[in-house]
Amino acid sequence: LRLVNYDGDESRSVLGTTYKLFKRYQKTIHGDTDEECGFSSFHPFLIETPLRKYQTSSGPSSGYGSFHQQYWLDGDKLIAVAVIDILPSSVSSVYFYYDPEYSFLSLGTYSSLREIALVRELQRESPALRWYYMGFYIHSCPKMQYKSRYNPSYLLCPETYSWHSMQSAVTKLDLTKYSKLADDPNQQDDDARGIDTGDVLVIYDRRPMRYSALREARASDKHTESMLLQYCQLVGKTAAAQMLLYLP
């Protein structure tokens, strides 16, 4: 098992091998055509990344950034690749692909367990790094059902942005495709209260600014105000004040 950075020499030296493995996996497991799993799709999907590797004195020795966990059989045959991001508080699972000839090994399950083990290993170096993020969960999608088998695990309520056990969430999702996961029907997202749209960070005419400054520079309109309010309710006032929202 080798952990290599996306942009490192070790990753680039086997790029052709990893792409061939990806293409074989996509065609066999997902039924993709040659065009659908071409290199022009593979590279921006699993090689290009907005994250740049960096290290801190209090962080793990691997540093933070985007990585591949390569699974080599007998040291010379690549049979699987896990694409992950190592972040200050978590390891985020991005994608996993493997040689279909080794499907009998349940490599998807094994890779998840290895990534959980990686979190524990990294936490010994950096105590703040303690979570394993498996990405989105769609209960009605059979290919995502495996995520519900790991315990303890939690899902984020889409309305209150509070975390709830997978066991209780699945019970609700068995009844309806969409469900508020919080038990209290009156519970709301605390971060969505007391929102001032003027605090929203926007980018307008290629310049970042608070919406309050833009509102002073041009006439406000009800449509933009309504859109900003809905945006704040979705992402919360903390994120709205830190993320750039493009305004035409």
Same structural domain, 121 and 205: no
Counted domains in the chain? 2
Same structural domain, 118 and 196: no
Query: Could you tell me the CATH number of the domain that includes residue 29?
Result: 3.40.630
Kindly state whether residue 229 falls inside one of the protein's structural domains. Answer: yes
Kindly state whether residue 38 falls inside one of the protein's structural domains. Answer: yes
Kindly state whether residue 142 falls inside one of the protein's structural domains. Answer: no
Same structural domain, 19 and 124: yes
- Cα separation of 210 and 206, whole Å? 13
Average pLDDT along the chain? 90
State pLDDT tens for residues 197-248. Answer: 899 999 888 888 999 998 888 776 888 889 998 888 888 888 888 888 998 8
State the residue range of the domain holding 63: 2-133
Kindly state whether residue 67 falls inside one of the protein's structural domains. Answer: yes
Same structural domain, 222 and 117: no
Out of 133, 156, 173, pick the residue that ends a domain. Answer: 133
Kindly state whether residue 151 falls inside one of the protein's structural domains. Answer: no
Per residue, the 3-state secondary structure of the chain, as one string, reads CEEEECCCHHHHHCHHHHHHHHHHHHHHHCCCCCCCCCHHHHHHHHCCCCCCCECCCCCCCCCEEEEEEEEEECCCEEEEEEEEEECCCEEEEEEEEECHHHHHHCHHHHHHHHHHHHHHHHHHHCCCCCEEECCCCCCCCHHHHHHHHCCCCEEECCCCCCEEEHHHHHHHHCCCCCCCCCCCCCCCCHHHCCCCHHHCEEEECCEEEEHHHHHHHCCCCHHHHHHHHHHHHHHCHHHHCCCCEECC
Same structural domain, 122 and 14: yes
Same structural domain, 10 and 115: yes
Same structural domain, 8 and 116: yes
Q: Which two tokens stand for residue 52?
A: 């740049």
Same structural domain, 41 and 111: yes
Same structural domain, 127 and 225: no
Question: What pLDDT was estimated at residue 189?
Answer: 79
Kindly state whether residue 148 falls inside one of the protein's structural domains. Answer: no
Same structural domain, 7 and 129: yes
Kindly state whether residue 204 falls inside one of the protein's structural domains. Answer: yes
Question: What pLDDT was estimated at residue 12?
Answer: 83
Same structural domain, 16 and 126: yes
Kindly state whether residue 41 falls inside one of the protein's structural domains. Answer: yes
Question: What pLDDT was estimated at residue 39?
Answer: 94
- Cα separation of 159 and 179, whole Å? 9
**How much is the pTM?**
0.79
67-76 per-residue burial string, b: 16 or more CB within 10 A, e: under 16: bbbbbeeeee
State pLDDT tens for residues 80-121. Answer: 999 999 999 999 999 999 999 999 999 999 999 999 999 999
Same structural domain, 216 and 120: no
Out of 133, 166, 181, pick the residue that ends a domain. Answer: 133
